[in-house]
Structure formats: structure tokens, C-alpha cells
Structure 1
Amino acid sequence: MAPSSTSSSAPAGQHAPPNTSFAEPEKSTEYASIIPQPRSNENDQDRLQLQRTVSSVSHHDMANVQYIATGDNDVIYSKFTERRKMVIVAVVSFCSFLAPISSTTVLSAVPEVAETFGWFLSGTLIGPALGPFIGGIIVTFRSWRDIFWLQTALAGAATLFCFFLQPETIHKKRADELVGLPTAQRAHKMWQWLNPFRVVKLYRYPNILLTALASSSLVWNMYSLLTPIRYVLNPRFNLQSPLQSGLFYIAPGCGYLLGTFFGGRYADHIVKKYIQRRGHRVSEDRLRSCVFFLGVVIPACMLIYGWSVEKRVGGIALPVVMMFLQGVAQLFCFPSLNTYCLDVMQGRSAEVVAGNYFMRYMFAAAGSAACLPAVRAIGVGWFSTISAGFLVAGAGATWLTAVKGREWREGIEEAKARRKEEALA
């Protein structure tokens, strides 16, 4: 996208040298940061405004993008000492840590029914999609500080809900196993429970590893789609405010919400279908419900989304519809994958879930970090193609697990039993 005639080649508040030429658009510098703008109204001094960025449609220009509202160029942030900056980063990191830990710690208490998981996952998936929209409204009409007041109120409300409305449902407390044990034995038993390597060792089960990779492909796709929306779509459609860019997050959020009503029910339907066919239940059967959505629907949506933006076709409607459809399709995948983690090794379900989430959030971090540099380097079309390929590979891994998973599990358990017998002999 060619730079606008209203664009500036100098940071906000500075003027370009008089001899600077703007004749060649590709050499002009544009900015992708959110920086404070001077306002005539004193009450609006904290309000933020989006600055234009080079579109990924003309990604050869992306190398000239600079981010001036960070580090030494940020006059507010540079006032703090290095120690204070470290404290700021630590607090923000802790806040970001609370969201995933709040969603994963309760997984072991959720009933092993995919329909229930669909409702549970609607919160964990709709949140990342609607958060930027709510934030866009706040920073457009209020101070950005109000975002943190809102988060504080929501966290306080959640604490009160858990304290007053959540009854105890556990059948047996593990702490009861520590009663009467000497201190050394108690410490040894607690280390066995808390040892993180127990989670990593579960990857020796091919079915656990492959389903973790399949889940990771979904989370990679989710975060690499949501993270660069502002940088990809704002210049494509000439959007100027955080509120306008935040509206695009409604599409996947509505998709996640709609998928909640159908994804879990469909997974349970597939399980019942195979029970009637075989006469007994196999854990891997529920994985069959998500293969089509994981390997066909979501990759197709990503390809159409990426290349429609890259080639500038379809207007606003096409990418919005694709984001909505892939949101629906994700809720046909996550309930099956997560419920399988609880169902496949019921005695160690918490560890299986922990291993699955460990890998998926590693890929979430990688997707969030890689998406913008990749879009600048190869364009949103090719990056969406890479994400689609990862999803297809995840679907293949899921199908292979559905077919061979039971055989793999039984083979490993038999090998463990033989080794145990040989050790006792």
C-alpha cells in the first residue's frame, strides 16, 4: 500500500529537515506504533491514536517501518530507572501469566464431556478475540489506564464468584495421602507430584505427542491471526483509530461463541456413533470429529483470508467472514482434543493436560513473535499458507492418533509391564 500523502517521515512532534524529499514513496518512513497525540482538550491528553503502517500487501516496503514509541524514543518510559523498568515488565508478565493459568488449573475438575468443554473453552477463546475490541473502545474514548481498572474489577469479580459460588467437588483430596508421613517421605511424595519432568516424559506416548502438536497448530493459527490484525488490516482498509481495528476482532469472537453451541455436541455424537458400531468405547474415537475441521475448513479459511488481503480482493467482507468461519471451526476441534487429554489416561489426566498446554502455549508464543517479522518478509498470503500447512499436518497427526492411538497405548503399557516383571525376577 503506497504511503499516504498525510504521512510523516519523522516521529510525532518532530519536523522533517527542509531538504527531505518525499517524491519516492518507498523511501518514506511510516510508523506502526500507538503513540500519544496532542489534543486541544486537556481531558483527552492520555487518549491514544493509531498511526499508519505500511501494508503487508506491499511487504517489500515493510523494512522501512520503525517503532518510535518504545525504548529510548518514548519520553515517558525513558524517565524510569532500569530497576523500575524491570519491575514494570515483571508486573505485566505476571498479569499475562494469570490468564492462562486460570484457565488450565481448573481443567482437571471439568467433567469429561466435550459439550461441557465447549462452554468452558468459549471463555478461553472468546477472551483473546474480544479483548482488543474492548481495549479499542476504552483507548478511543477514555484513558488507556482504564483498561487496568477494568481488569482489576473483573479479577475481583471472578475471585468473589469462585469463593461464594463454587462448591467443592473433589472426590478425594491428595493432601490426605500425606497425613501421618514423616517429613522426608512427605517431601519425596510432593516432589513426585510436582516434578515437571513427569509431564515431559509423557511425550514418549506418540498419541500424547501428536495430539499436543495438533492443539499447537490451532493455537499457533489463533495467535498468529489475532496478533497482526492491526498491522495487516489497518493499512489495507485505511483505518485510523483503535476502535476501528478492534471491530475486526468481533468476527472470530462471534465464531468462537457460535461454535460453543455445536462443537462439543458434535464430538459427543461421534463418540456415541462409534460406541453403537463397536459395542464399546475407545478414547480415540472423539478425535475423528475434528479431523475435517482441522485439516480442511480452517486451512481453507486461512488461505482465503491471507491471499484476499495480499491481493486486495473481496473488500472488508471476505476476511471478516473467513475469520468468523475459522472461529466456528476451532470450537469443533478444541473440545475433542482437550477432552481426549482427560479421557486417554484418566489416572494421570492432569499431567496429560499440562503437557498439552505446555506445548500449545510454546507455539502460541512462537506464533505471536514470528507473525509480524514473517508478514514483513514474505507477506500475509504466504504466512497464511504456512499456517494452513501446519494445520493440515496437525489434522494428519490427529487422524493417525485416532486410528493407531489405542494400539500405541497398549504396546507401551505392555512393554512397561514386561520391564517391571523382569526387574522383579
Structure 2
Amino acid sequence: MASTLEAKETAADTAVEEGRPELAPYSAFTRSQKRFIVFTASWAGFFSPVSSQIYFPALNSIADDLGVSSGLINLTLTSYMIFQGISPMFVGDFADKAGRRPAYLVCFLIYIAANIGLALQDSFAALFVLRCMQSAGSSTTIALSSGVVADIAIAAERGSYMGFVVAGSLMGPALGPVIGGLLSQYLGWRSIFWFLTIFGCAFLVPFALFFPETARAIVGDGSIPPPRWNLPLIQWIDSWKAPPQETIRRPKLGFPNPIKTLSIIFQKDVSILLVANAILFAGFYDVSASIPSIYNDLYNLNDLEIGLCYIPFGLGATVASIVTGKFLDRNYRRLARLSNIPPEETRARNLQGFPIEKARLQIALPLLVLGSCTVIAFGWVLHFGVHLAAPTTILFVMGLTLTGSFNTVSTLLIDFYPMYAASATASNNFVRCLLGAGATALVDPMLEAMGRGWCYTFVALVMMATAPLLWVVMQYGPRWREERQKREDSLAGAAR
């Protein structure tokens, strides 16, 4: 027997085929509920980057207190990024099957426990292991937040919603170093982890009370209640008074399986996108990770002053995520009009014949080129020791442009896999974080061997080389996507 969700989708497809303008709503959540959901998902996505960036201004102090070299401390950055790539592969699959709420809850409990341990530890070995745990708990929030957007937003509005979610995650580069610099300068580096503990608890309490389950495999369009154990506490209390309601056939729970994420990585169009995005991310991280040591040597700044220098970087990134989201939606509607396709046709199979790759990547390409140019400019102003105002201004433009290109690729991945958005975003994290970890390990030797100007010029030229890759996806992506859809449809038919 077909599930309730399948029946609703079949009715909507029939309406499209018969030319009826009215379609079943993609989501039963109201506009105000969507705003609350997106705000909460954006807040959750803030934890991963802030936990990484808040650490940067204190790197020198932690190295001195633990009696280790800056090279060993940089290994904690590398390990953080490795777990940032691996852990979402497991949690993404778990979230697509069990729901977003339980995945968030498990991750935040791990995250809070790791921060308590980091505040109390007194050795490099403990710091290394607990940073890995902290990364495993916080890094999955971005993948989960992307999944939430796919649950509630149609393709025509997904750019704006993703923009607001990404804006939360990109507040980390703006606020994290400032908070970290203040805490490290005046209360010591351990206060950083106590702050993160308190901040994590402040998120977890209202989340457990009010945040609804959104996963379409669990609640359909949002009108079907999840199992009682997966209800917000406020609704759980009321559920005992309410009569039983309709349910849908839900995926069976099992040990989280990363195979779905790996299978996404090896799709032709997706693999090209992920490699291009990973190279851009590696360049982005090369700049941010090297700022503390370079600014300390060149401008003799303390922890707090270094933290303040990240503000333009993060502000540019935050502005870009919101503005780029608006442009993505506008470009989607423009191409929909040119293709005579109603923007309400939003499920993956209804994107057949629509150039979704062009709708997204037309925005990414100019931002990619401009962002790469800012990396070159950043390297040479540091090479010549120009006044601090110059690299600070460049960082704002760099955050504005590079973040816009990240956002477009992330949105396109969700367009490809709206029903497995958490797994798709996990694949993005896996590739870009592993490459970013390698880039972080190499940037110091490269700076010593090549100098600041030529090092960042080389990084920028590698970033520019991704532009032809995106062009390939724009040209051949629609055909590859249709071939993939046919394969999935035939496998689904065989399974029935």
C-alpha cells in the first residue's frame, strides 16, 4: 500500500501532467514556522565555524601554556578539519532516516561534553583528541541545516533560505575570533571552551522544547506527526491527549551508513562540483589559518587585535550569503520564465528540462574569479608590509566573493538531492574538509619557501583553474542529471 506521502506526491504529479495550475503545497509549515525553523537551523550552523575560528587568536597562548610548538598546535586544526569531513557522512545518513531532531540532539550532547573536557584538560594529547570530538559534534550542524532547508523550501525559494542558513554559519569567521581574542586576552584560553559549553546549552534547551521534526521521510510535508519520542517537549506533553493520527512508511533505523554519501561523491557532475568547491575552500582556509602568525610577525598584534582583524572577513561572508541567495532565486525565476516552466515544479524529477546548473553557476563564476584576485592582492600587500588597513579591506571583499561561490554550489547540491540533502551536504564537507586539512598543513612550508606574495598567487591560480570545471557542469550537467534520474527511477521500479 502506498504511503500517505507517496499518495500526495502522485496527486501533485497528476495535476502537473493534466495542466492544472494548482499543486499540492510542498510544505505544510506556515511562513512564520518556516522562519523559526530557518532561524534555528542558522543558529545551529553557527557552532561549527565559531568553534574553529574562536580558537585561532589563542593558538600562540595555548602553544606556550602546553609547551609545544606552533606546528603541533596546527595539527589540532588539521585533525579538526578531518573530523569535520568524516563525521557528517555518518550523521547525515542517520538524519535522513531517523530525522533531524535526534541527529541534532546527539551531536550537541557530544559537542557540550567535548567542550567541558577541553576546558579541563592539561596536555597536548587530550587537546588533540577532544578537538576531534568537538569537531564531530559541531561539524554536522551545517549538513543538518541544509537538510532542514530542503525539507521545507521549494527550489524557487531555496537560494534565499540557504542564504540565511549559511549566514548563520558564516557569522563564525566574523564573531569567533573576536570572542576568542577577548576571552583569551583577559580570562585565559580555557574560558573559550567554557563559553562554548554555555552557548551550546543555551541553544539545546529551546531546541528541545520547540523545534519540530522536518525530515520528509518522517513527517512528509510536515502535516504528519513524527513518533512521540521525536516530538518537541511542548508537543510531546499534548500528544498524550490527542487521538492517533495518520502515519507514513518510514525508513528502518540501523547503524549510520556512509555509503550513500560516498555514492553521491562519485556521480560525474557532483564530483566535479565537489572538487571545485574543495579547492576554493582550501584557499579560503589557507588565508584564515595563516592570519594569526603573519599578523603577529608583521604587525605585532596580540590575541584580541588579531581577533578583531577577522571581523571584515566574516562580515563580507555574511552579507554575501544573504545577497547571493536573493540573486540565486531571481536567476532561477528568470530562467524558469525563459523555459516556460512554473517555478512551483520543485521535486527533482520536475527539474527535468530545466537548466538548474546554469541557474546556480551563472552566479558562482564571476564571484570565483573576483575572489581569486583578492587572494593575490592579499598576498602581495603582506609581502610589501603595507599598512594593516589594506589587508583588512581585502579580507572583506574576499569574504564577500568566495562565500558567494560556496553558497551557490551548496544550493545546487541540494537541488540535486532534495530527499537526501544532509547526505549530499556531508559529501561536500567530506571532500572540502579533507582537502582543506591538507592545505592547512602545507601553507606554512609554502610561505617559508615561496614568500607571502608568490605563495598566495599560486593558491589563487589554482582556485581560478576551477572555473572551467564549473563550465563543464553547466554544459553537460543536465544530461548527466537526467541519466542519473533514469537510473534511480529504474532501480525504484525494480524494488517495488
Residue of structure 2 equivalent to 1:103: 142
What 5-or-longer segments of structure 1 have no aligned partner? 1-31, 38-45, 49-65, 71-81, 177-187
Match of 1:120 among 158, 165, 171: 165
The structure-2 alpha-carbon separation of the partners of 1:399 and 1:36, relative to structure 1 and needing over 3 Å to count, comes to: closer
Residue of structure 1 equivalent to 2:375: 302
- Provide the rounded CA distance (Å) in 1 between the counterparts of 2:315 and 2:159: 20
1:65-104 matches, cutoff 5 A:
67=70, 86-104=125-143
Residue of structure 2 equivalent to 1:185: none
Residue of structure 2 equivalent to 1:381: 453
SS at structure 1 position matched to 2:322? helix
* CA apart distance, 1:108: 1.0
* CA apart distance, 1:147: 1.1
Larger Cα Rg: Structure 1 or Structure 2? 1
Residue of structure 2 equivalent to 1:322: 394
Residue of structure 2 equivalent to 1:34: 61
The structure-2 alpha-carbon separation of the partners of 1:203 and 1:252, relative to structure 1 and needing over 3 Å to count, comes to: same
- Provide the rounded CA distance (Å) in 1 between the counterparts of 2:274 and 2:454: 25
Give a deviation string over 1:1-41, Cα, whole Å, max 9, x none.
Answer: xxxxxxxxxxxxxxxxxxxxxxxxxxxxxxx943799xxxx
* CA apart distance, 1:340: 0.9
1:292 aligns with 2:366: yes
* CA apart distance, 1:164: 2.3
* CA apart distance, 1:97: 2.5
Report if the CA contact (8 A) 2:360-2:408 is conserved: yes
Give a deviation string over 1:167-199, Cα, whole Å, max 9, x none.
Answer: 2333441998xxxxxxxxxxx9656x8431232
Report if the CA contact (8 A) 2:309-2:392 is conserved: yes
- Provide the rounded CA distance (Å) in 2 between the counterparts of 1:282 and 1:309: 42
Match of 1:246 among 307, 316, 329: 307
Report if the CA contact (8 A) 1:118-1:263 is conserved: yes
Residue of structure 1 equivalent to 2:91: none
Report if the CA contact (8 A) 2:279-2:462 is conserved: yes
Report if the CA contact (8 A) 2:143-2:423 is conserved: no
TM-score by length of structure 2 reads 0.62
User: Aligned partner of 1:305: which letter?
Assistant: F
1:135-146 matches, cutoff 5 A:
135-146=180-191
- Provide the rounded CA distance (Å) in 2 between the counterparts of 1:211 and 1:261: 21
Match of 2:318 among 240, 257, 260: 257
The structure-2 alpha-carbon separation of the partners of 1:251 and 1:208, relative to structure 1 and needing over 3 Å to count, comes to: same
Report if the CA contact (8 A) 1:109-1:170 is conserved: yes
User: Aligned partner of 2:382: which letter?
Assistant: V
Match of 2:204 among 146, 159, 164: 159
What 5-or-longer segments of structure 2 have no aligned partner? 1-58, 74-120, 220-225, 228-250, 342-353
* CA apart distance, 1:288: 1.5
- Alignment root-mean-square deviation, CA: 3.3
- Provide the rounded CA distance (Å) in 1 between the counterparts of 2:62 and 2:419: 52
Report if the CA contact (8 A) 2:182-2:304 is conserved: yes
Report if the CA contact (8 A) 1:303-1:388 is conserved: yes
- Provide the rounded CA distance (Å) in 2 between the counterparts of 1:123 and 1:353: 16
User: Aligned partner of 2:361: which letter?
Assistant: L
- Provide the rounded CA distance (Å) in 2 between the counterparts of 1:416 and 1:217: 30
* CA apart distance, 1:378: 1.4
- Provide the rounded CA distance (Å) in 1 between the counterparts of 2:362 and 2:258: 30
The structure-2 alpha-carbon separation of the partners of 1:327 and 1:83, relative to structure 1 and needing over 3 Å to count, comes to: closer
Report if the CA contact (8 A) 2:147-2:420 is conserved: no
Give a deviation string over 1:376-406, Cα, whole Å, max 9, x none.
Answer: 2212222212321232122322222122101
Which has the larger helix fraction? Answer: 2
After superposing the two structures, state which structure 1 stretch, 83-92 or 361-370, moved more.
83-92
SS at structure 2 position matched to 1:169? coil
